[in-house]
Structure formats: C-alpha cells, structure tokens
Amino acid sequence: MRFMIFVRIAGAVFLSFIILAMGCQKSSSNPPTTVIKDSTVIKDSTVIKDSTVYIDSVLTSATLKNGLLVYLPFNGNFADSSGNGNPTTPLGGAALGYDEHGYANSAFSGNGTTARVAVANNGSIQFDTAFSISQDVMILNTQNQAFATMVERSTGQGPSFGIGMGIPNITNLEIQVADSLLTCADIIGSSNSITDTSHLTLQPYSWYNVIATFNKGTVQIFVNGNVVSTQTGGSSTVPLCPTADLIIGGWWDGSNNDGYPTINGTIDEVRLYNRVLTSHEISFLARNFQPGSTRVKPGIKSGKAPTVN
C-alpha cells in the first residue's frame, strides 16, 4: 500500500514538471509584445487617443492627427491638409520648389523679400495653454528671417508667436510667444512676451527639422529631435486673436520695413498643434534628419508606392 501511494505521488510530481516545462517552452516561443492598439496610451504625461499604436517604443503616424490644427505638406499645392479646411493664400511671389528629397513642387520656396503663405483661421485654429509647431527648413543665408508666425497680417498687431532667425536683430534661432497681457490691439515686445533663444545659427543649404512647443509658460525648441533651448517664466496662456493668420515664411505685411523679412529658403511639412508634442512624436517628425534614417518621400509626392521604414 505504501509503495502504491509513493508511485502515485511520484507520478503527480513528474506530471507537474511536464506541464511546467511545456508552459516555459510556450512562453519562450511567444514573447510578450509591446504593441498597444485601440486604447488610450499615456506617454510623457500626454494622453493620446484614436487607436494609438506603439511598436517597440516607435510611434506610428496615426497619433500625429491628434490636436492637429494646420498641416501643410505642399504636395503640389498650398492647401491645408489637416482636414480642417483653413483657407491658404500664397503671397508675394510664393512658389513651390524642391523639397529635402529633391522632389519638385513639394515645398514652399521663399525669396527673402515678400514671398509667404497666409493661412486664415476659419475658427478651427484654437489654442490657449499649449501649442506646438513643426517645420522642415532650409535657409540660403543667415539674414534675419521668419519661419512661422501667428499675427494680424495687415497691422502686425495681436500676435501669438513668431519663430525664426532672429527676433528682431540677431541670427540665432528663436521663438517669441506673447503672454496674457497682450491684446489684439498691441504689438509684441519684451514686456508682453517670452523669448526663447537657442544660441544656434542654422547653416545655409542644410535641411533641419525645427519644432517649438509652449506649455503653460515654458517654451522649448527642438532641432532634429534634440532640445536646444528651454525658457520658463511666461504666462500660463497665450492669446489668440480671431483675425490673426498663421503666416508661413513671414511676418506681417510691413515686416520688410522692421528688419524681420520673409524666409530666404525653403519650408516643408508644417504642422501646428493645440497641444505639446511628446518626445516620441518629436523623434518621429525628425526621423528623416537623424543618422541612419531610411525614410523616403511618400508615394503621393514621388509617384511611387510608399516605402515604410
């Protein structure tokens, strides 16, 4: 009897080892995945929705639609491709030129004097405590020049922000953001704004991804995915006047008289958001400007089938 009990116990132990081994083998052949689909994902203290997908910490482009106010890919035209339908107007000889991949009619080309693109706000452009703006930029010289501004175009009053090289009299990359003291009848100055100076001068004939973010009084500039400057101390909100335009490659209509002319170079892939971009999103937008990138221009510009990294 004792021998039979011992045999039953030994058999049970052996069976347990077999089950455990099978479980380990299954686990090793099917490792856990880091793909998260169709759910809210929190990255860098920012909630991202709408079927966000992270694959091994690489952000897909799906989430870049969240909070997107204006998107100018310059795919053969100057239209807003964000889905918000903000009217766009090329001004002062604005033309389409070659982008960073060498594709014609795929980027906005500025002449350094009058050329710029005005994006009128049809009511969809709204931000207060946060915004981000991203653009790909290539300059031809280091003169003072505007990359993107939000201002009443005919008067220069009621601006929200301006990013470019320099504001107003130096060639460093800077962004100036108005604070809550500024009204729609004011012009921007040191007493009603915060300026973040990067101490970085972009080199002519080189392409850069330049991103600026504002979050409750803190301003940051990123170049090619890396933060190059941070400034704190601004007000927690930024004003947005209803008659202000988003002007790509320029400032207000009289800007050539105040030492801050339009861009002498090329701008592509302009995106304006009503939120702060996460570090993953910033890296994704700058992926074409980082060592080892294999990104190519999408098929819509090249006429070829899209290629994915």
Q: 153, 128, 167: which is closest to 254 by C-alpha?
A: 153
Confidence (pLDDT) at 143: 86
Confidence (pLDDT) at 259: 58
Give the span between the Cα atoms of 307 and 243, in whole angstroms: 40
Give the span between the Cα atoms of 242 and 246, in whole angstroms: 11
Give the span between the Cα atoms of 92 and 95, in whole angstroms: 9
The one-character DSSP state at 51 is S
Which amino acid would we find at residue 43? K
Cβ 107 vs Cβ 99: under 8 Å: yes
Q: 59, 85, 61, 57: which is closest to 71 by C-alpha?
A: 85
Q: Which domains does the chain have, with CATH numbers?
A: 21-62 (no CATH), 67-292 (2.60.120.200)
- Give me 186's structure tokens: 């004011």
- Give me 165's structure tokens: 């090289």
Residue 60 CA: distances (Å) to CA of 52, 72, 105, 135: 8, 19, 26, 18
Residue 100 CA from chain centroid, whole number: 17
What region does 38 belong to: left with phi over 0, alpha with psi -120 to 50, or beta? left
Could you read off the pLDDT of 152-179 as tens digits, one per residue? Answer: 999 999 999 999 986 556 678 999 999 9
Task: Report the predicted TM-score, pTM, of the whole model to 2 decimal places.
Answer: 0.76
Confidence (pLDDT) at 199: 84
Confidence (pLDDT) at 258: 61
Give the span between the Cα atoms of 53 and 63, in whole angstroms: 8
Confidence (pLDDT) at 95: 96
Give the span between the Cα atoms of 104 and 106, in whole angstroms: 5
Confidence (pLDDT) at 205: 94
- Listed in sequence order, the DSSP H helices in 30-91 are none
Which residues of the chain are modeled with pLDDT < 70?
A: 1-62, 166-170, 255-260, 290-309
Cβ-based neighbour number of residue 243 at 10 Å: 14
Cβ 70 vs Cβ 125: under 8 Å: yes
CB crowding 133-147: b at 16 or more within 10 Å, else e:
bbbbbbbbeebbbbb
